[in-house]
A and B are shown apart, each in its own frame.
Chain A
């Protein structure tokens, strides 16, 4: 229905401005099954809302083709080939898993189809394996955690114990935190990487953290592991003496209610929470609530901004793969997350990071923003992109 309305809107404006009437085919690649299905659905809801909100007055019809990546690299690679070769999409978006992004990189780079990354945060994608065709509108693992090391030390925390699942993202998140925390003068008294996806009981690790003599614990966990971790941390009564900090996925609004009171008082850093105060966010949260009946998460805003970036690129005159790819590298706008721009050196998003505390609100848990840490570009890490041409 919405597509018809939008097509009609596009048709109506196309009479007025016939030169602008275009069809942009968007391939949206997200996991709709498996562990990350809830993330996929959240990103799609944001993406469609973004196109509805900003795309209506462009005179262009956006045709969305969705494909289920199952968060598995071989599956995603097959689907990407189908979208690029058979459906001949103008632009790809989505990608939740870093593994999938890594597997698709060479295909994207070789076939010269622009990809707007709407989640996957592996540092390499906008570092040593960067590509002018890959533009990231979500975050990088390092970006979310780096400012937190400095901030935490400024709060008077001297000794920290870190925990994270033992896989690439877990290590990148913790490494970025560790580097900035020790640079600021802090001390890491212990580090533990738990078997990824196999750890049911965090009890053994929590007892070690408790015995380490740390002032605080800094962790990265997401999804089911985050819920188990936060609940178990609270059940051992550690929160009082050993405050819990982390990358904000730990208490994401998407599943914080499954953590319940155990999440209260946890302080974490993230690129978006629904309680950020600005006009764009107010409009976004209201529209998202009306559409889905719940508050948006960081995943929904990534979808929303990915769609917005596409619309901005189209508005600047881009019509095909090549021009979209070039235009996407130059987008910048004020969105729900604040001022966003693309770093010309790496094609990663430059955005502020928010430190928030999970507190009890009138209806369930809510996020209280404690600090806004200024936006900074990631180090290039060997990425050498040609300067943006005009």
Chain B
């Protein structure tokens, strides 16, 4: 194994980049769950839809158009899903919810195939992000730095909204005890709706941001679902701190696992998940004490 410092810096940045991508996905899922006690297994499919919508828009108006259209389109889809399906499912218990959103995965998978076909699509990086940047003695792809910066910016923004604003206080109250929050005059239903749509928009954003790194294929949503679930289970359901901690743990374990113990790379994260479930069944930073 190399003792070159640049190598380890590079790997740390790789880990951070993967963490930020997962954070964008898991924050939406975890807050929706924390607030609504609703497991939306189709969250990964919304990520795929975001990538496709972004690719379609980017083909017309370039990367930035795609970056704008994808979250808006997926949030719009969130509105439809919420009013058509999820609102009705709110009281029907976790098993029915899991089954319905699981079915939704396959519906969305086939819809993307019908609309956009089976062949993978691509989004080209914008010109100034396609090169490499000299940083800490190494050259690192500019686009990956952009992903890291975007993740950190979203994290800071959400931390501010949840921690400092009135809406944030209402959301935290709703997560802690929704019945009591409703008694205090908070329109919990409207809050749920807003949070659900923002969560969807973030999934769409994650999709379009991932597209230039990966490929846009119909099954990309299925591939990302398990890592996202691992992140929120490790981090603890419903909390921002949990989502960022879980993402960082996943990113670093996965990346350094691949470097140091490649034979174990695929089981390492599951072993960690099992350990967390045994030692702290609620996750590292659960929303409720």
A residues in contact (CB < 8 Å) with B = 33-35, 37-38, 41, 166, 192-195, 197-198, 200-201, 203-205, 207-208, 211, 223-224, 227-228, 231-232, 235-237, 254-255, 257-260
Taking A198-B266, A203-B17, A204-B11 as contacts, is the C-beta distance between A231 and B124 under 8 angstroms?
A: no
Of B28-36, B186-194, B210-218, the one touching chain A: B210-218
Of B77-85, B112-120, B272-280, the one touching chain A: B112-120
Across the interface, do A200 and B214 meet the contact criterion of CB distance under 8 Å?
yes
| 30 A-B pairs with C-beta separation under 8 A | A33-B113, A37-B113, A37-B218, A41-B118, A195-B265, A200-B223, A200-B227, A201-B213, A203-B11, A204-B11, A204-B14, A204-B258, A207-B10, A207-B259, A211-B2, A224-B120, A227-B120, A227-B122, A228-B213, A231-B214, A235-B132, A235-B143, A254-B119, A255-B120, A257-B122, A258-B119, A258-B120, A258-B122, A258-B216, A260-B122
Taking A195-B266, A224-B219, A255-B120 as contacts, is the C-beta distance between A211 and B4 under 8 angstroms?
A: yes
Across the interface, do B4 and A260 meet the contact criterion of CB distance under 8 Å?
no
- The one of A38, A198, A227 that contacts B214, using a Cβ cutoff of 8 Å: A227
A228 to B213, CA, bound (A): 6
Chain B residues, Cβ within 8 Å of A41: 118
Interface size on B, residues (CB 8 A): 46
Chain A residues, Cβ within 8 Å of B121: 258
Across the interface, do A228 and B14 meet the contact criterion of CB distance under 8 Å?
no
Across the interface, do A38 and B141 meet the contact criterion of CB distance under 8 Å?
no
Chain B residues, Cβ within 8 Å of A259: 122
Nearest Cβ in chain A — how far from B272, in angstroms? Answer: 15
Across the interface, do A207 and B14 meet the contact criterion of CB distance under 8 Å?
yes
Nearest Cβ in chain B — how far from A141, in angstroms? Answer: 22
Query: Is B144 on the interface with A (CB-CB < 8 A)?
Result: yes
Chain B residues, Cβ within 8 Å of A200: 18, 21, 210, 214, 223-224, 227
Chain B residues, Cβ within 8 Å of A257: 122
Chain A residues, Cβ within 8 Å of B139: 237
Chain A residues, Cβ within 8 Å of B18: 200-201, 203
Nearest Cβ in chain A — how far from B267, in angstroms? Answer: 9
Main secondary structure of the interface of A (DSSP, over half): helix
A223 to B213, CA, bound (A): 15
Kindly report which residue of chain B lies nearest to residue A236, judged by CB atoms.
B141
Chain B 120-159 interface mask (CB, 8 Å, partner A; 1/0): 1110110000101000000101011000000000000000
Kindly report which residue of chain A lies nearest to residue B266, judged by CB atoms.
A195
Query: Is B40 on the interface with A (CB-CB < 8 A)?
Result: no
Chain A residues, Cβ within 8 Å of B266: 166, 195, 198
A194 to B254, CA, bound (A): 12
Chain B residues, Cβ within 8 Å of A232: 213
Chain B residues, Cβ within 8 Å of A37: 113, 118, 218
Taking A38-B119, A200-B224 as contacts, is the C-beta distance between A237 and B212 under 8 angstroms?
A: no
A-B Cβ contacts below 8 A, count = 105
Chain B residues, Cβ within 8 Å of A204: 11, 14, 255-256, 258-259
Most buried by A among B132, B139, B141, B216: B141
A376 to B105, CA, bound (A): 46
Query: Is B103 on the interface with A (CB-CB < 8 A)?
Result: no
Nearest Cβ in chain B — how far from A213, in angstroms? Answer: 10
Query: Is B163 on the interface with A (CB-CB < 8 A)?
Result: no
A236 to B7, CA, bound (A): 13
Nearest Cβ in chain A — how far from B164, in angstroms? Answer: 33
A331 to B2, CA, bound (A): 54
- The one of B17, B214, B258 that contacts A205, using a Cβ cutoff of 8 Å: B258
A194 to B264, CA, bound (A): 10
Chain A residues, Cβ within 8 Å of B212: 231
Chain B residues, Cβ within 8 Å of A194: 258, 265
Nearest Cβ in chain A — how far from B271, in angstroms? Answer: 14
Chain B residues, Cβ within 8 Å of A166: 266
Across the interface, do A201 and B122 meet the contact criterion of CB distance under 8 Å?
no
Query: Is B94 on the interface with A (CB-CB < 8 A)?
Result: no
Kindly report which residue of chain A lies nearest to residue B131, judged by CB atoms.
A237
Chain B residues, Cβ within 8 Å of A255: 119-120, 215
Chain A residues, Cβ within 8 Å of B227: 200
Query: Knowing that A207-B10, A254-B119 are A-B contacts, what are 7 other residue pairs whose CB atoms are under 8 Å apart, sorted by A's residue number?
Result: A33-B113, A38-B117, A198-B223, A200-B223, A203-B14, A258-B120, A258-B215
Nearest Cβ in chain A — how far from B108, in angstroms? Answer: 14
A255 to B10, CA, bound (A): 29
Chain B residues, Cβ within 8 Å of A223: 120, 217
Query: Is B262 on the interface with A (CB-CB < 8 A)?
Result: yes
Taking A37-B118, A198-B223 as contacts, is the C-beta distance between A260 and B215 under 8 angstroms?
A: no
Within 8 A of A (CB), among B192-237: 210, 212-220, 223-224, 227
Chain A residues, Cβ within 8 Å of B215: 224, 227-228, 231, 255, 258
Most buried by B among A193, A195, A204, A237: A204
A255 to B212, CA, bound (A): 15
